[in-house]
Amino acid sequence: MSKAERAEELRALIERYRNAYYLENESLVSDSDYDELENELRALEQENPELIVDSPTEKVGGAASSLFASHRHLEPMLSLDNAFSLEELLAWDQRVGGGPYLCEPKIDGLAVSLTYEKGKLVSASTRGDGEVGEDVTANVMTISSVPHALSGSNHPEQIEIRGEVFFPLADFAKLNEGIVAAGGKPFANPRNSASGSLRQKDPQVTASRPLQMLVHGFGAWQSNVSSQSEVYELLSSWGLPTTKRYKVAGDAQEAGDYVEKLESDRHSIEHEIDGVVIKVDDLSRQSELGRTSRAPRWAIAYKYPPEQVNTKLLDIRVSIGRTGRATPFAVLEPVRVAGSEVEFATLHNQDQVRSKGILIGDTVVLRKAGDVIPEILGPVTALRTGSETEFQMPTKCPECSSDLAPASEGDVDLRCPNSRSCPAQLRERIAYIGSRSAMDIEALGYVSAAALTQPIEPKEPPLRSEADLFSLTIEQLLPIRSYVLDPDTGLPKHDGEGNPKVTDFFRKKDGEPGEVALKLLANLEEAKKRDLWRILVSLSIRHVGPVAARSLCNHFGSLEAIFAATEEELAEVEGVGPTLAASIKQWWDEDWHREIVESWGKAGVALSIPGHQGPGSMSADGPFSGMTIVVTGTLSQMTRDEAEAKIIALGGKAASSVSKKTAFVVAGPGAGSKLQKAEQLGVEVIDESAFVARLASLTN
């Protein structure tokens, strides 16, 4: 694999894990595994700057979801760099030139920005990608600790206040008890409960949850105070909730003492913490130190080691993913760690099981890395009794009995080759189509996908492949009875008596269509007009993620043109390359894959970009002839695909990265690293309105 291909693979993985964490409250990998991927990508980019193409190493958080209106921050809402040892803290201390430092608990909650104008709360939003977040004003208004109007006097004309929304630990346990009693799925941890409770469509649901907030800084503000600690005093005088646990430390050693003391007290704090935030206290020095594209240089997060417990490894089983990958996972004796009960832990592949030296029946050390993902560190060999057994990777798929084998020579992972008929792969692919990474179909989650592909009744599921998804009818949905499956393992969930849970998922008790059925059909109808790149991603072609899909769709304009292209023509598209091109051709060679595209087209799914003139089409004498133009951020009057199609129709090249050769950049809300690079290079930047006006002047 070339460096460029590895960089593309890393970008796709990191974006997937980042979106799952920020948009879906799901952590697909441990913090340590995520950090390794990001560090590897950063090292590759430092050695090969030409590989920096819309890189997640230059981004903050994740994109806003489609649940809420977008809100552009007046000042970027940045992330923090991390330190994991005193040595790393001291190295940072040397870089910034010493204290004093303000030290405070790092709350494990949801970052939120409050905007006050003349002392009145006018908006509240999540971090999003650092530039644009979700407008959650109505929901934040229900949090009792957030004042709608500031107390005191001398309020600025406008100020952004940054803080963390969290779920108090005492209330978290009560919330989960109520959810379980009502037959719902409990939240995994307080951070997820805070995010899930705040990001509700109905503010009354948020109001029913005892959320709290603590503020810790500011964004846009013409301040006349000189230190971070003075900021806290002023914010407190205005009636804003600030932590009483902060301390101003004179130097790094004193900051280290604070870190150690707080760690010993962490379980007595009313909310979850995962470390300490340390900031240069002097605001003028903060300004001098500045920031990178994603984090301030004047602050750092000291992350505590994840908590560890011992528990019993009851079994090791295998789950099958949407591309056929067979992944071992540990079945554990339930144990509470880092605030939640853990029953399963991923083991990634058979080599990792072997390298950890664990046996079925072992007592194992379990860690929740970053207080989020359970990870087995290894066995407690002194407690072995001799009854433990070695794990043997199955040779057959556990769901369709096909022979498992590597996809290519030297591949560590085993895969089920029965991509057409394997129930697990179909279930995972259907669930992926509904995800925000693909077609963003709200009612097509994991439980719906399982019901549609593996019902108890009727015996023949309504979906035998993706081909029939957009032709589903209410008559097909109503008879369905299915097991409720765990999305992490694909195994049936059980009730309090050990019986598998069964549900009439799409109908009410009286036999009438339920809300989920009606919403699913409506959502599917809406999804038929999604951007073309989302449709391409939804086909689950190996290696084809959002970045490559955008490039392919912008270049070719239709699925027909993409699949008609030669392998060489595909590989020439920016961000594609030979490996991905070969994967596309291999996918299209399967008859049943072609049936999916044909059926979707017959069902009304838009398989081309309106106005696109064909593969690489450029009007040699068009007004944009010879010009490279980049579109970034969110557009309101057209989709990004439509904007790029208009550029191509006028003879220009729609590129995905900014360089000195870029003619101009069209930047909407959420334009991050591309906008910054354009400004650094002196490239012209226009907004959507100016772009529309320019198009009108050229086409009249």
* CATH number of the domain residue 592 falls in: 1.10.150.20
**At a CB cut-off of 8 Å and minimum separation 6, what does 154 contact?**
none
pLDDT at 32 over 60: no
**77 and 39 Cβ atoms separated by less than 8 Å:** no
Rg of the chain taking only CA atoms, in angstroms: 26
Integer Cα distance of 55 and 41 in angstroms: 9
pLDDT at 234 over 80: yes
Question: Average pLDDT of the chain?
Answer: 84
Integer Cα distance of 411 and 74 in angstroms: 48
CATH number at residue 675: 3.40.50.10190
**536 and 608 Cβ atoms separated by less than 8 Å:** no
CATH number at residue 138: 3.30.470.30
Q: Could you please report the per-residue DSSP string of 104-142?
A: EEEE-SEEEEEEEETTEEEEEEE-TTSSEEEB-HHHHTT
Integer Cα distance of 64 and 660 in angstroms: 30
| Domain end (from 466, 497, 527) | 527
User: What pairing do the DSSP bridges indicate for beta strands 628-632 and 662-667?
Assistant: parallel
With H, G, I as helix, E, B as strand and everything else as coil, classify residue 239. Answer: coil
Q: What pLDDT was estimated at residue 185?
A: 52
Tell me the HSE value of 398 on the side-chain side, using a 13 A CA sphere. Answer: 18
Residues 273 and 131 occupy one common structural domain: yes
User: Which of 3, 59, 106, 661 is an active site residue?
Assistant: 106
Q: Can you tell me the mean pLDDT for 544-553?
A: 82
**Greater model confidence, 364 or 561:** 561
Tokens at residue 421, please?
A: 């008929």
Residue 289 lies inside a defined structural domain of this protein: yes
Residues 99 and 132 occupy one common structural domain: yes
| Domain end (from 527, 550, 584) | 527
CATH number at residue 361: 2.40.50.140
Residues 241 and 152 occupy one common structural domain: yes
**At a CB cut-off of 8 Å and minimum separation 6, what does 97 contact?**
285
Residues 138 and 263 occupy one common structural domain: yes
**Greater model confidence, 696 or 337:** 696
Picking from 431, 429, 426, 433, the residue whose alpha carbon sits closest to that of residue 454 is 426
Residues 316 and 405 occupy one common structural domain: yes
Residue 395 lies inside a defined structural domain of this protein: yes
pLDDT digits (tens, 9 = 90+) for 486-503: 766 666 777 666 677 777
Residue 623 lies inside a defined structural domain of this protein: no
Question: What are the two backbone dihedrals, phi and then psi, of residue 524, each rounded to the nearest 5 degrees?
Answer: -65, -40
- Per the listing, tokens 């919403």 go with 519
**Alpha carbon of 262 to those of 216, 276, 345, 663: distances in Å?**
17, 8, 29, 53
Residue 63 lies inside a defined structural domain of this protein: no
| Domain end (from 415, 447, 467) | 415
**Alpha carbon of 223 to those of 100, 274, 278, 396, 519: distances in Å?**
20, 30, 21, 66, 48
Integer Cα distance of 469 and 489 in angstroms: 23
Length of the chain as a residue count = 700
Least confident of 100-109, 407-416, 458-467: 407-416
Range of the domain at 8: 3-58
Q: What pLDDT was estimated at residue 370?
A: 45
Residue 126 lies inside a defined structural domain of this protein: yes
pLDDT at 634 over 60: yes
Residues 193 and 165 occupy one common structural domain: yes
DSSP code, position 71: E
Residues 268 and 318 occupy one common structural domain: no
Residues 151 and 296 occupy one common structural domain: yes
Residue 611 lies inside a defined structural domain of this protein: no
Residues 165 and 200 occupy one common structural domain: yes
Residues 245 and 131 occupy one common structural domain: yes
Q: What pLDDT was estimated at residue 130?
A: 81
Residues 90 and 183 occupy one common structural domain: yes
pLDDT at 131 over 70: yes
Residues 174 and 88 occupy one common structural domain: yes
Residue 176 lies inside a defined structural domain of this protein: yes
Helix axis angle, 169-181 relative to 190-198, nearest 10°?
A: 70
**Greater model confidence, 403 or 340:** 403
Q: What pLDDT was estimated at residue 381?
A: 76
**Alpha carbon of 278 to those of 106, 272, 412: distances in Å?**
9, 17, 41
Q: What pLDDT was estimated at residue 499?
A: 75
**pLDDT above 70 covers what percent of the chain?**
89
**77 and 162 Cβ atoms separated by less than 8 Å:** yes
Is position 528 annotated as part of the catalytic site?
no
Amino acid at position 621, single letter: D
Total domains, the chain: 6
Residue 615 lies inside a defined structural domain of this protein: no
Question: What are the two backbone dihedrals, phi and then psi, of residue 296, each rounded to the nearest 5 degrees?
Answer: -70, 145
**Alpha carbon of 492 to those of 54, 111, 238, 416, 674: distances in Å?**
40, 34, 52, 21, 45
Integer Cα distance of 267 and 172 in angstroms: 14
**Greater model confidence, 574 or 394:** 394
Q: Could you please report the per-residue DSSP string of 370-403?
A: TTTEEEEEEE-GGG--S--B-----SB-TTT-PB
